[in-house]
Structure 1
């Protein structure tokens, strides 16, 4: 799964990287502790091409009467994406890219303490998570919401967690967004073994109130 991430790339650099028209109300960056229900940076395909927009991280199916009317859907499993009522329409027609610099995952020690890890692309490039989106609400309450698609973990990632977010390379973006026709389902697989690097970070990131660049710095308990 993916329950927390970091984003540090400036919006103008995001727009250039994804060849997308940026909105004027994008979330502030850097943010080293992006948590569920906040606004995140999303690229989606519209009538005039790619747009870089803010969306609520937490997919809201159209039948939710309120934001808390059902489970918080921050992730969507690739294996059941086309079958689940919440996601199956979005899987076909509303796929997006969710931007990040890296993400967090946790293991546990013998005493059950949560040990956080920071995971990023080994080549240092920004991350594009495969996602799905849904507009929810009416009139002034209408908002766009999204979820990150997840797959089974690669062998390297499985040392930390049995799931991982779907990470798409630039050559796959057109197919995922729907610009290159059909067949996006074939992209829903774990990344290559060499795709990611990871290191332990300080337990302060266990708090969703923590902030600052030190959250992604390597941490050694023996220091």
Structure 2
């Protein structure tokens, strides 16, 4: 599962890291509370052998939707069924991307029946390259909207303490294969990250609101705070 994330790296730094040409219009960053339907940065192929850094709506819209809310909000795509689901199978073959994130959030149920948020990041402090699929959706009125979903898989042993799913996280040596630059075989990349790749800490429940913002959202919660 991946239902909220933080994206703080400047677009020019993302473009350099992924060797991608940036579009002129990018999401406003930093954003410590990226929510479904927000725009996210995503690296894709540019159709000419290069890479493009662009903005897409987080929430994949199948071609047959007649309106934005014409069906379930598809923010995640399960790796196990990615190639079979009608919504995703074409994108799985030809429209794969990488979403650069600083971290993401998951929730556990608390003793008071509330939801405790946890912020999850790389142990080395680096960027998380989240596997994604994308789709250009055309509204009946003619407007074209680029949309994407994060690919998820079963959580690794350590992550299962927080949630049973996790995003597929790709290391630099896998980026070219996932983006379709090295032929076939991308399906082999859709596995859980090593147990020691991620670390996490509990954060304030303020992030439970999609209106919350600011770097304080990712700060560790003091042991006596609630």
TM over 0.5: yes
1:67-216 equivalence runs, <5 A: 67-137=68-138, 141-216=143-218
Residue number in structure 1 paired with 2:7: 7
Q: Residue 32 of structure 1 aligns to a residue in which SS?
A: strand
> Where in structure 1 do 4 or more consecutive aligned residues deviate above 2 Å?
none
**C-alpha separation between the residues in 2 aligned to 1:52 and 1:16?**
10
1:35-50 equivalence runs, <5 A: 35-48=35-48, 49-50=50-51
Bigger mean CA offset, 43-52 vs 168-177: 43-52
Residue number in structure 2 paired with 1:34: 34
How far is the alpha carbon of 1:151 from its aligned partner? Answer: 0.3
The RMSD of aligned alpha carbons is 1.0
How far is the alpha carbon of 1:59 from its aligned partner? Answer: 0.2
How far is the alpha carbon of 1:110 from its aligned partner? Answer: 2.2
How far is the alpha carbon of 1:221 from its aligned partner? Answer: 3.9
Q: Residue 173 of structure 2 aligns to a residue in which SS?
A: helix
Residues matched between the structures, number? 223
**C-alpha separation between the residues in 2 aligned to 1:112 and 1:160?**
16
How far is the alpha carbon of 1:141 from its aligned partner? Answer: 1.2
How far is the alpha carbon of 1:140 from its aligned partner? Answer: 5.4
**C-alpha separation between the residues in 1 aligned to 2:111 and 2:31?**
31
Gaps of 5+ in 2: none
How does the TM-score come out when normalised to structure 2?
0.97
**C-alpha separation between the residues in 2 aligned to 1:170 and 1:112?**
40
Q: Residue 194 of structure 1 aligns to a residue in which SS?
A: coil
Listed one character per residue, the Cα deviations across residues 104-151 of structure 1 (whole Å, up to 9, x for unaligned) are 000011232100000001111111100000000157510110000000
How does the TM-score come out when normalised to structure 1?
0.98
